[in-house]
Structure 1
Amino acid sequence: MKKLLYIIALLPALLTAQEIAVLKYSGGGDWYGNPTSLPNLAKFCNQNISTKLKPKTAIVEAGSPDLFSYAFVHMTGHGNVVFSDNDVINLRNYLTSGGFLHIDDNYGMDKFIRKEIKKIFPDKELALVPINHEIYKGPFAFPQGMPKIHEHDNKAPQAWGIFVEGRLVLLYTLETDLGDGWEDQEVHNDPVDVRTKALKMGANIVNYAFKE
Protein backbone atom coordinates (compact mmCIF):
# COMPACT_ATOMS: atom_id res chain seq x y z
CA MET A 1 0.00 0.00 0.00
CA LYS A 2 2.83 2.42 0.86
CA LYS A 3 4.48 1.68 -2.48
CA LEU A 4 1.22 2.42 -4.31
CA LEU A 5 0.77 5.74 -2.49
CA TYR A 6 4.36 6.68 -3.33
CA ILE A 7 3.81 5.94 -7.03
CA ILE A 8 0.61 7.99 -7.03
CA ALA A 9 2.48 10.90 -5.44
CA LEU A 10 5.12 10.67 -8.15
CA LEU A 11 2.72 10.54 -11.11
CA PRO A 12 2.78 14.28 -11.91
CA ALA A 13 6.58 14.22 -12.05
CA LEU A 14 6.68 11.04 -14.10
CA LEU A 15 4.54 12.64 -16.80
CA THR A 16 6.94 15.59 -17.23
CA ALA A 17 10.57 16.35 -16.55
CA GLN A 18 11.63 14.81 -13.26
CA GLU A 19 13.39 16.49 -10.37
CA ILE A 20 16.09 15.26 -8.08
CA ALA A 21 16.51 16.93 -4.73
CA VAL A 22 19.00 17.89 -2.04
CA LEU A 23 18.00 17.03 1.52
CA LYS A 24 17.92 19.92 3.98
CA TYR A 25 18.54 18.81 7.55
CA SER A 26 19.13 20.28 11.01
CA GLY A 27 22.14 20.08 13.29
CA GLY A 28 24.40 22.73 11.83
CA GLY A 29 25.97 20.69 9.04
CA ASP A 30 26.35 22.31 5.62
CA TRP A 31 23.57 20.50 3.76
CA TYR A 32 23.91 23.19 1.07
CA GLY A 33 27.49 22.22 0.16
CA ASN A 34 28.45 21.38 -3.44
CA PRO A 35 25.79 23.60 -5.07
CA THR A 36 26.81 22.68 -8.65
CA SER A 37 26.86 18.92 -8.05
CA LEU A 38 23.30 17.84 -8.76
CA PRO A 39 22.74 20.21 -11.71
CA ASN A 40 25.86 18.76 -13.33
CA LEU A 41 24.79 15.21 -12.53
CA ALA A 42 21.32 15.86 -14.00
CA LYS A 43 22.89 17.24 -17.18
CA PHE A 44 25.21 14.24 -17.48
CA CYS A 45 22.36 11.77 -16.95
CA ASN A 46 20.17 13.50 -19.55
CA GLN A 47 22.99 13.37 -22.09
CA ASN A 48 24.13 9.83 -21.40
CA ILE A 49 21.37 7.64 -19.96
CA SER A 50 18.25 9.21 -21.54
CA THR A 51 16.76 10.68 -18.36
CA LYS A 52 14.67 13.84 -18.41
CA LEU A 53 15.84 15.52 -15.23
CA LYS A 54 15.27 19.18 -14.56
CA PRO A 55 18.57 21.07 -14.47
CA LYS A 56 17.55 23.03 -11.38
CA THR A 57 17.93 21.07 -8.17
CA ALA A 58 15.05 21.07 -5.69
CA ILE A 59 15.58 21.45 -1.94
CA VAL A 60 13.44 19.32 0.35
CA GLU A 61 13.38 19.18 4.14
CA ALA A 62 13.73 15.83 5.88
CA GLY A 63 10.35 16.16 7.60
CA SER A 64 8.40 17.56 4.66
CA PRO A 65 5.63 15.64 2.86
CA ASP A 66 7.19 17.00 -0.36
CA LEU A 67 9.89 14.36 0.10
CA PHE A 68 7.55 11.88 -1.57
CA SER A 69 7.68 13.88 -4.81
CA TYR A 70 11.25 12.76 -5.53
CA ALA A 71 12.51 9.34 -6.55
CA PHE A 72 16.11 10.34 -5.79
CA VAL A 73 17.26 12.54 -2.90
CA HIS A 74 20.90 13.42 -2.25
CA MET A 75 22.39 14.43 1.08
CA THR A 76 25.87 15.78 1.77
CA GLY A 77 27.86 17.83 4.28
CA HIS A 78 30.93 18.01 6.47
CA GLY A 79 29.46 18.20 9.96
CA ASN A 80 26.66 17.52 12.38
CA VAL A 81 23.31 16.00 11.39
CA VAL A 82 20.22 15.82 13.60
CA PHE A 83 16.93 14.25 12.55
CA SER A 84 13.88 15.11 14.66
CA ASP A 85 11.28 12.49 15.52
CA ASN A 86 9.15 13.80 12.66
CA ASP A 87 12.13 13.65 10.29
CA VAL A 88 12.79 10.05 11.27
CA ILE A 89 9.21 8.94 10.68
CA ASN A 90 8.99 10.79 7.38
CA LEU A 91 12.29 9.43 6.09
CA ARG A 92 11.42 5.88 7.14
CA ASN A 93 8.06 6.06 5.39
CA TYR A 94 9.65 7.56 2.29
CA LEU A 95 12.36 4.91 2.06
CA THR A 96 10.11 1.95 2.78
CA SER A 97 7.54 3.05 0.21
CA GLY A 98 9.82 3.40 -2.81
CA GLY A 99 12.09 6.39 -2.19
CA PHE A 100 15.87 6.44 -2.39
CA LEU A 101 18.38 8.45 -0.35
CA HIS A 102 22.04 8.84 -1.30
CA ILE A 103 24.19 10.19 1.52
CA ASP A 104 27.66 11.30 0.40
CA ASP A 105 30.14 12.17 3.14
CA ASN A 106 31.86 15.39 2.10
CA TYR A 107 34.33 14.64 4.91
CA GLY A 108 33.38 14.94 8.54
CA MET A 109 29.80 13.70 8.79
CA ASP A 110 30.49 9.99 9.41
CA LYS A 111 30.37 10.03 13.21
CA PHE A 112 27.10 11.98 13.10
CA ILE A 113 25.18 10.37 10.26
CA ARG A 114 25.58 6.79 11.42
CA LYS A 115 23.67 7.59 14.62
CA GLU A 116 20.89 9.27 12.64
CA ILE A 117 20.58 6.37 10.19
CA LYS A 118 20.19 4.08 13.20
CA LYS A 119 17.26 6.23 14.36
CA ILE A 120 15.55 5.71 11.01
CA PHE A 121 16.16 1.96 10.94
CA PRO A 122 16.77 0.81 14.53
CA ASP A 123 16.32 -2.84 13.54
CA LYS A 124 18.80 -2.76 10.66
CA GLU A 125 22.55 -2.41 10.30
CA LEU A 126 24.44 -0.62 7.58
CA ALA A 127 25.93 -3.27 5.30
CA LEU A 128 28.67 -2.97 2.71
CA VAL A 129 27.12 -2.95 -0.75
CA PRO A 130 28.46 -6.06 -2.48
CA ILE A 131 30.69 -5.67 -5.51
CA ASN A 132 28.14 -7.51 -7.67
CA HIS A 133 25.30 -5.11 -6.86
CA GLU A 134 23.34 -3.48 -9.69
CA ILE A 135 24.71 0.00 -9.00
CA TYR A 136 28.12 -1.19 -10.18
CA LYS A 137 26.87 -2.95 -13.31
CA GLY A 138 25.27 -0.26 -15.38
CA PRO A 139 24.71 1.79 -17.34
CA PHE A 140 28.45 2.12 -16.63
CA ALA A 141 30.55 -0.79 -15.40
CA PHE A 142 32.53 -0.45 -12.17
CA PRO A 143 33.95 -3.94 -11.66
CA GLN A 144 36.18 -2.69 -8.83
CA GLY A 145 33.32 -1.02 -7.00
CA MET A 146 33.08 2.55 -5.78
CA PRO A 147 35.64 4.90 -7.41
CA LYS A 148 38.00 7.06 -5.39
CA ILE A 149 37.42 10.74 -6.22
CA HIS A 150 39.00 12.74 -3.36
CA GLU A 151 41.48 11.69 -0.74
CA HIS A 152 40.27 11.98 2.86
CA ASP A 153 41.99 9.65 5.31
CA ASN A 154 43.95 7.55 2.82
CA LYS A 155 41.32 4.82 3.02
CA ALA A 156 39.60 2.82 0.31
CA PRO A 157 36.25 4.15 -0.95
CA GLN A 158 33.26 2.55 0.72
CA ALA A 159 29.60 2.09 -0.09
CA TRP A 160 27.29 1.19 2.78
CA GLY A 161 23.60 0.48 2.42
CA ILE A 162 20.32 -0.18 4.11
CA PHE A 163 18.29 -2.87 2.35
CA VAL A 164 14.53 -3.34 2.67
CA GLU A 165 13.17 -6.59 1.25
CA GLY A 166 16.28 -6.91 -0.90
CA ARG A 167 16.08 -3.38 -2.29
CA LEU A 168 18.79 -0.83 -1.59
CA VAL A 169 16.89 2.16 -0.20
CA LEU A 170 19.71 4.14 1.42
CA LEU A 171 23.22 4.38 0.00
CA TYR A 172 25.95 5.91 2.16
CA THR A 173 29.17 6.62 0.29
CA LEU A 174 32.31 7.26 2.36
CA GLU A 175 35.95 8.00 1.50
CA THR A 176 35.02 8.70 -2.12
CA ASP A 177 33.35 12.15 -2.24
CA LEU A 178 31.33 11.66 -5.41
CA GLY A 179 29.64 15.04 -4.92
CA ASP A 180 32.94 16.89 -5.20
CA GLY A 181 33.55 15.08 -8.46
CA TRP A 182 30.19 16.27 -9.80
CA GLU A 183 30.98 19.92 -9.10
CA ASP A 184 32.04 22.42 -11.79
CA GLN A 185 35.58 21.65 -12.90
CA GLU A 186 37.05 24.89 -11.58
CA VAL A 187 35.81 24.22 -8.03
CA HIS A 188 38.29 21.42 -7.30
CA ASN A 189 40.31 21.27 -10.54
CA ASP A 190 39.85 17.52 -10.77
CA PRO A 191 41.21 15.84 -13.92
CA VAL A 192 38.63 15.05 -16.59
CA ASP A 193 38.89 11.29 -16.04
CA VAL A 194 38.24 11.66 -12.30
CA ARG A 195 35.18 13.85 -12.84
CA THR A 196 33.93 11.46 -15.50
CA LYS A 197 34.23 8.49 -13.13
CA ALA A 198 32.29 10.39 -10.48
CA LEU A 199 29.53 11.36 -12.92
CA LYS A 200 29.26 7.84 -14.32
CA MET A 201 28.92 6.38 -10.83
CA GLY A 202 26.34 9.02 -10.02
CA ALA A 203 24.43 8.11 -13.17
CA ASN A 204 24.39 4.47 -12.07
CA ILE A 205 22.93 5.48 -8.70
CA VAL A 206 20.27 7.68 -10.31
CA ASN A 207 19.42 4.92 -12.77
CA TYR A 208 18.98 2.43 -9.93
CA ALA A 209 16.83 4.84 -7.91
CA PHE A 210 14.44 5.48 -10.78
CA LYS A 211 14.39 1.89 -12.02
CA GLU A 212 13.71 0.32 -8.66
Structure 2
Amino acid sequence: MKILHIVKFFLKKQHIKVLFTTFMLGCSYLAPAQQVAILKYDGGGDWYANPTALPNLIEFCNNAIHTNINSNPETVEATSIDVFNYPILFMTGHGNVLFSEEAKENLKSYLISGGFLHVSDNYGLDTYIRREMKLLFPTLEFQEIPYNHPIFHQTFSFENGLPKIHEHDNKPPQAFGLFYEGRLICFYDYEADLSDGWEDEEVHNDDAETREKSLKMGANIIEYAFKN
Protein backbone atom coordinates (compact mmCIF):
# COMPACT_ATOMS: atom_id res chain seq x y z
CA MET A 1 0.00 0.00 0.00
CA LYS A 2 2.87 2.37 0.78
CA ILE A 3 4.42 1.73 -2.65
CA LEU A 4 1.05 2.32 -4.33
CA HIS A 5 0.67 5.63 -2.47
CA ILE A 6 4.14 6.74 -3.60
CA VAL A 7 3.37 5.83 -7.22
CA LYS A 8 0.06 7.71 -7.11
CA PHE A 9 1.77 10.76 -5.61
CA PHE A 10 4.49 10.68 -8.29
CA LEU A 11 1.93 10.50 -11.09
CA LYS A 12 -0.02 13.42 -9.62
CA LYS A 13 3.15 15.45 -9.32
CA GLN A 14 4.16 14.81 -12.92
CA HIS A 15 0.64 15.61 -14.13
CA ILE A 16 0.53 18.97 -12.39
CA LYS A 17 4.01 19.90 -13.67
CA VAL A 18 2.87 19.19 -17.23
CA LEU A 19 -0.31 21.19 -16.60
CA PHE A 20 1.62 24.27 -15.43
CA THR A 21 3.93 24.08 -18.46
CA THR A 22 0.92 23.79 -20.76
CA PHE A 23 -0.68 26.82 -19.12
CA MET A 24 2.34 29.01 -19.72
CA LEU A 25 2.57 27.86 -23.32
CA GLY A 26 -1.13 28.55 -23.67
CA CYS A 27 -0.63 32.11 -22.47
CA SER A 28 2.09 32.64 -25.07
CA TYR A 29 0.69 30.86 -28.09
CA LEU A 30 -3.08 31.05 -27.63
CA ALA A 31 -3.50 27.32 -27.09
CA PRO A 32 -6.91 26.08 -25.88
CA ALA A 33 -8.01 27.94 -22.76
CA GLN A 34 -6.94 26.66 -19.35
CA GLN A 35 -9.13 26.28 -16.28
CA VAL A 36 -9.02 27.56 -12.72
CA ALA A 37 -11.41 26.41 -10.02
CA ILE A 38 -13.32 27.34 -6.89
CA LEU A 39 -12.63 25.01 -3.96
CA LYS A 40 -15.73 23.47 -2.38
CA TYR A 41 -15.17 22.54 1.26
CA ASP A 42 -17.20 21.08 4.15
CA GLY A 43 -18.04 22.58 7.53
CA GLY A 44 -21.05 24.71 6.64
CA GLY A 45 -19.18 27.79 5.45
CA ASP A 46 -20.36 29.52 2.28
CA TRP A 47 -17.68 28.34 -0.16
CA TYR A 48 -19.99 29.62 -2.91
CA ALA A 49 -19.82 33.28 -1.79
CA ASN A 50 -19.03 35.99 -4.34
CA PRO A 51 -20.30 34.10 -7.41
CA THR A 52 -19.42 36.86 -9.90
CA ALA A 53 -15.93 37.46 -8.49
CA LEU A 54 -13.79 34.87 -10.23
CA PRO A 55 -15.43 35.21 -13.67
CA ASN A 56 -14.78 38.97 -13.51
CA LEU A 57 -11.17 38.45 -12.46
CA ILE A 58 -10.64 35.98 -15.30
CA GLU A 59 -12.04 38.46 -17.82
CA PHE A 60 -9.76 41.17 -16.44
CA CYS A 61 -6.69 38.91 -16.59
CA ASN A 62 -7.39 37.76 -20.13
CA ASN A 63 -7.61 41.39 -21.24
CA ALA A 64 -4.96 43.05 -19.06
CA ILE A 65 -2.19 40.47 -18.71
CA HIS A 66 -3.04 38.35 -21.77
CA THR A 67 -3.78 35.07 -20.06
CA ASN A 68 -5.98 32.52 -21.79
CA ILE A 69 -8.19 31.24 -18.98
CA ASN A 70 -11.61 29.72 -19.59
CA SER A 71 -14.21 32.35 -18.69
CA ASN A 72 -16.31 29.87 -16.70
CA PRO A 73 -14.41 28.64 -13.62
CA GLU A 74 -15.07 25.11 -12.42
CA THR A 75 -16.02 24.03 -8.90
CA VAL A 76 -14.01 21.18 -7.40
CA GLU A 77 -14.44 19.21 -4.17
CA ALA A 78 -11.54 19.26 -1.74
CA THR A 79 -11.52 15.45 -1.80
CA SER A 80 -11.45 15.11 -5.59
CA ILE A 81 -8.37 14.10 -7.55
CA ASP A 82 -9.61 16.63 -10.10
CA VAL A 83 -7.87 19.37 -8.09
CA PHE A 84 -4.76 18.30 -9.98
CA ASN A 85 -6.36 19.59 -13.19
CA TYR A 86 -6.15 23.19 -11.95
CA PRO A 87 -2.91 25.13 -11.46
CA ILE A 88 -4.67 27.47 -9.03
CA LEU A 89 -7.61 27.04 -6.64
CA PHE A 90 -9.62 29.91 -5.16
CA MET A 91 -11.33 29.72 -1.79
CA THR A 92 -13.51 32.17 0.12
CA GLY A 93 -16.33 32.29 2.66
CA HIS A 94 -17.51 33.78 5.94
CA GLY A 95 -17.56 30.84 8.34
CA ASN A 96 -16.51 27.34 9.25
CA VAL A 97 -14.12 25.29 7.13
CA LEU A 98 -13.65 21.58 7.65
CA PHE A 99 -11.33 19.32 5.67
CA SER A 100 -11.83 15.57 6.08
CA GLU A 101 -8.78 13.33 6.35
CA GLU A 102 -9.19 12.50 2.67
CA ALA A 103 -9.38 16.20 1.79
CA LYS A 104 -6.30 16.99 3.89
CA GLU A 105 -4.22 14.32 2.16
CA ASN A 106 -5.49 15.39 -1.26
CA LEU A 107 -4.89 19.11 -0.80
CA LYS A 108 -1.49 18.60 0.78
CA SER A 109 -0.40 16.45 -2.16
CA TYR A 110 -1.75 19.06 -4.57
CA LEU A 111 0.08 21.95 -2.91
CA ILE A 112 3.46 20.27 -2.49
CA SER A 113 3.26 18.99 -6.07
CA GLY A 114 3.13 22.52 -7.49
CA GLY A 115 -0.44 23.65 -6.87
CA PHE A 116 -1.40 27.07 -5.52
CA LEU A 117 -4.27 28.07 -3.23
CA HIS A 118 -5.59 31.61 -2.86
CA VAL A 119 -7.75 32.09 0.24
CA SER A 120 -9.75 35.32 0.45
CA ASP A 121 -11.28 35.97 3.87
CA ASN A 122 -14.77 37.28 3.26
CA TYR A 123 -14.92 38.13 6.99
CA GLY A 124 -15.21 35.36 9.56
CA LEU A 125 -12.97 32.79 7.88
CA ASP A 126 -9.73 33.45 9.77
CA THR A 127 -10.04 31.12 12.77
CA TYR A 128 -11.16 28.20 10.65
CA ILE A 129 -8.73 28.44 7.76
CA ARG A 130 -5.79 28.79 10.13
CA ARG A 131 -6.92 25.71 12.05
CA GLU A 132 -7.38 23.57 8.95
CA MET A 133 -4.17 24.63 7.21
CA LYS A 134 -2.26 23.86 10.41
CA LEU A 135 -3.65 20.33 10.26
CA LEU A 136 -2.43 20.04 6.67
CA PHE A 137 1.01 21.43 7.45
CA PRO A 138 1.74 21.10 11.19
CA THR A 139 5.30 22.42 10.84
CA LEU A 140 4.38 25.49 8.79
CA GLU A 141 3.13 28.86 10.00
CA PHE A 142 1.38 31.61 8.06
CA GLN A 143 3.98 34.33 7.55
CA GLU A 144 3.11 37.92 6.76
CA ILE A 145 4.30 38.64 3.23
CA PRO A 146 6.50 41.74 3.01
CA TYR A 147 5.72 44.58 0.63
CA ASN A 148 8.79 43.85 -1.47
CA HIS A 149 7.69 40.29 -2.28
CA PRO A 150 7.35 39.65 -6.04
CA ILE A 151 3.62 38.91 -5.74
CA PHE A 152 3.09 42.64 -5.18
CA HIS A 153 5.25 43.54 -8.17
CA GLN A 154 4.07 41.63 -11.19
CA THR A 155 2.41 43.51 -14.07
CA PHE A 156 0.98 45.85 -11.45
CA SER A 157 2.98 47.26 -8.55
CA PHE A 158 1.60 47.63 -5.02
CA GLU A 159 4.27 49.47 -3.07
CA ASN A 160 2.25 49.29 0.15
CA GLY A 161 1.20 45.68 -0.19
CA LEU A 162 -2.36 44.42 -0.17
CA PRO A 163 -5.04 47.02 -0.99
CA LYS A 164 -7.94 47.55 1.41
CA ILE A 165 -11.25 46.84 -0.31
CA HIS A 166 -13.84 46.66 2.50
CA GLU A 167 -13.73 47.79 6.12
CA HIS A 168 -14.85 45.51 8.96
CA ASP A 169 -12.90 45.88 12.22
CA ASN A 170 -10.74 48.92 11.49
CA LYS A 171 -7.74 46.65 10.91
CA PRO A 172 -5.15 47.00 8.16
CA PRO A 173 -5.19 44.54 5.27
CA GLN A 174 -2.62 41.78 5.61
CA ALA A 175 -1.25 39.20 3.21
CA PHE A 176 -0.13 35.91 4.71
CA GLY A 177 1.57 33.00 3.04
CA LEU A 178 2.46 29.39 3.62
CA PHE A 179 5.88 28.55 2.23
CA TYR A 180 6.88 24.96 1.50
CA GLU A 181 10.56 24.41 0.74
CA GLY A 182 10.83 28.09 -0.12
CA ARG A 183 7.84 28.15 -2.50
CA LEU A 184 4.68 30.12 -1.75
CA ILE A 185 1.91 27.52 -1.88
CA CYS A 186 -0.95 29.42 -0.23
CA PHE A 187 -1.70 33.15 -0.37
CA TYR A 188 -4.20 34.34 2.24
CA ASP A 189 -5.67 37.85 2.16
CA TYR A 190 -7.01 38.96 5.54
CA GLU A 191 -9.00 42.10 6.39
CA ALA A 192 -8.86 43.13 2.75
CA ASP A 193 -11.94 41.41 1.28
CA LEU A 194 -10.07 41.26 -1.99
CA SER A 195 -12.53 39.02 -3.82
CA ASP A 196 -15.44 41.32 -2.93
CA GLY A 197 -13.83 43.89 -5.19
CA TRP A 198 -13.95 41.47 -8.10
CA GLU A 199 -17.73 41.15 -7.94
CA ASP A 200 -20.17 42.91 -10.25
CA GLU A 201 -20.23 46.63 -9.53
CA GLU A 202 -23.82 46.67 -8.28
CA VAL A 203 -23.18 44.00 -5.63
CA HIS A 204 -21.22 46.26 -3.27
CA ASN A 205 -21.36 49.62 -5.07
CA ASP A 206 -17.58 49.95 -4.87
CA ASP A 207 -16.15 52.86 -6.81
CA ALA A 208 -14.14 52.26 -9.98
CA GLU A 209 -10.79 52.90 -8.30
CA THR A 210 -11.45 50.33 -5.57
CA ARG A 211 -12.58 47.68 -8.03
CA GLU A 212 -9.58 48.34 -10.25
CA LYS A 213 -7.16 47.93 -7.32
CA SER A 214 -8.71 44.63 -6.33
CA LEU A 215 -8.67 43.28 -9.89
CA LYS A 216 -5.06 44.33 -10.43
CA MET A 217 -3.98 42.63 -7.21
CA GLY A 218 -5.92 39.53 -8.22
CA ALA A 219 -4.16 39.57 -11.59
CA ASN A 220 -0.81 39.76 -9.80
CA ILE A 221 -1.72 36.68 -7.75
CA ILE A 222 -2.60 34.70 -10.86
CA GLU A 223 0.47 35.88 -12.73
CA TYR A 224 2.77 35.04 -9.82
CA ALA A 225 1.19 31.63 -9.28
CA PHE A 226 1.71 30.56 -12.87
CA LYS A 227 5.31 31.75 -12.93
CA ASN A 228 6.25 29.98 -9.72
TM-score, scaled to structure 2 = 0.89
SS at match of 1:145: coil
1:25 aligns with: 41
1:62 aligns with: 78
- Give the drift of 1:9: 5.1
- Would you say the 8 A contact 1:10–1:68 is kept in 2? no
1:189 aligns with: 205
- Would you say the 8 A contact 1:34–1:179 is kept in 2? yes
SS at match of 2:184: strand
- Larger-Rg structure: 2
- Give the drift of 1:165: 1.8
2:185 aligns with: 169
SS at match of 2:165: coil
Measure, in 2, the Cα distance between the counterparts of 1:169 and 1:183: 25
- Would you say the 8 A contact 2:20–2:226 is kept in 1? no
Equivalent position to 2:16, from 6, 12, 36: 6
Within 5 Å, give how 1:95-134 maps onto structure 2: 95-134=111-150
Measure, in 2, the Cα distance between the counterparts of 1:147 and 1:165: 28
Which amino acid letter does the alignment assign opposite residue 46 of structure 1? N
Which amino acid letter does the alignment assign opposite residue 138 of structure 1? Q
Identity of aligned residues (%): 55
- Give the drift of 1:8: 3.2
Equivalent pairs, count = 212
The answer to whether residue 215 in structure 2 is matched with residue 205 in structure 1 is no
> Could you say if the C-alpha distance between residues 208 and 186 of structure 1 is closer, same or farther in structure 2, counting changes exceeding 3 Å?
same
Measure, in 1, the Cα distance between the counterparts of 2:170 and 2:125: 17
TM-score, scaled to structure 1 = 0.96
1:146 aligns with: 162
The answer to whether residue 21 in structure 2 is matched with residue 41 in structure 1 is no
Equivalent position to 2:93, from 55, 77, 80: 77
Query: Structure 1: which 5+ residue stretches go unaligned?
Result: none
